Structure 1
């Protein structure tokens, strides 16, 4: 058995912070609020900063320190348009990253649907890699269910549901009773306070339409 280190390519789902201006302070306040709202989801979360829409210079050192103070981990910067900006970001300790413009594709190998019959208790995490996840029971507050594909919950969703974890935008979340702490598809998420009351405690389907989350009440 070889003990030599090795480097291999892989892919991970990261939260991307899209900046609209060069003022760092409002961004840091925004991140602190998110961590306070859902600490189990955002605390120590790796963050990539997209600066594609920023016109002025960014204080990357202040931004990096602010992200760390908010309780997240600054990983890299994407969307930089010139070498100077890339150098400034790199000097502040950010990795300079480029995002793929190609649409997310299904994994090469599709795993069988993962079926869970028991309740998902607070503190538990269930992950269906390269496939769909079916929960035939309830998901308690403080629990987390994740799938690279879609998630079907036949009971009440009180915890967090994250579908399309590897970037599949066509993933869906269907649950019989929506009372979620967080729902997410392909890195786009809503916390409970962003879910309109008309969908609360209803049988719903969450999907992505034109890169935005959309909820629909199911009547059957």
Structure 2
């Protein structure tokens, strides 16, 4: 009889934000972060983030303390300035390397093969891996109301909802999201980074809107669009909310 494994790895798609640090004044960072968390009515609390530290010097321990006080969960650091990498590692946080950099370090760490007495026999070249985009599949359709606490995810597809999305519910798609009822919860399109994804809804009352990592909370949406049919899309780095005629 085999012994059950004491642990297992399970693949799961999770939403992780990149928090870019643009200033080293901890008091200013603390005040601004507190304002953003309060403005979001708690939606940013327990938010999992990786840090992009875009300053040459900062008190990393102090920065982590500021984030902890606002209940922001820091998973690691990403694209950290070279001058800050050692300080980040001393806190115990992992530094997530970009792919090209990681490959370069691996190449440097790999010893060169010994000099062969004779040249090796020629080998058939292996074609490079394809960089094709994610293959989208048939749209997922939901005809029942999405209740508070529910989470719907359309992987590699668009999401169509013919009923309302209640406050406290979350709908996510790798493609576009179409909602033919009221949107009162959270809608996240382009979850795998598709910046061309859009959100369409007939009655905008959302708690949060996001496309490819750019987001707006309720207070950022504005009264002009609230309660109206709208489309949400990216224009560069800006998340736009436009009425539908």
TM-score tier (shorter):
0.7 to 0.9
Aligned to 1:97: 96
Mapping of 1:174-193 within 5 angstroms? 174-193=200-219
CA distance in 1 between partners of 2:27 and 2:159 (Å): 39
- Aligned-pair CA distance for 1:4: 8.9
Confirm or deny that 1:86 pairs with 2:88.
Answer: no
Q: Secondary structure at the match of 2:219?
A: helix
| Structure with higher RCO (Cα < 8 A, 6+ apart) | 1
Which structure 1 segments of 5+ residues have no match?
Answer: none
Per the alignment, residue 161 of structure 2 pairs with 135
Residues 121 and 7 of structure 1, relative CA distance in 2, 3 Å threshold: closer
Q: CA deviation at 1:79?
A: 3.1
Match of 2:27 in 1: 25
Consecutive unaligned residues of structure 2, counting only runs of 5 or more, are: 101-130
Contact 1:32-1:71 at 8 Å conserved across structures: no
When normalised by structure 2's length, the TM-score is: 0.77
Offset, 1:14? 1.6
Rg comparison, structure with higher value = 2
Q: Secondary structure at the match of 2:234?
A: strand
Mapping 1:159-174, distance limit 5 Å: 159-174=185-200
* Residues 65-92 of structure 1 deviation map (CA, whole Å, 9 limit, x = unaligned): 221221111122233332x410101112
- Aligned residue in 2 for 1:59: 59
Residue in structure 2 matched with residue 111 of structure 1 by the alignment: 137
Aligned length: 213
Runs in 1 of length 4+ with deviation above 4 angstroms?
Answer: 1-12
Of 114, 125, 136 in structure 1, the residue corresponding to residue 151 of structure 2 is 125
RMSD: 2.6
What is the TM-score with the length of structure 1 in the denominator? 0.85
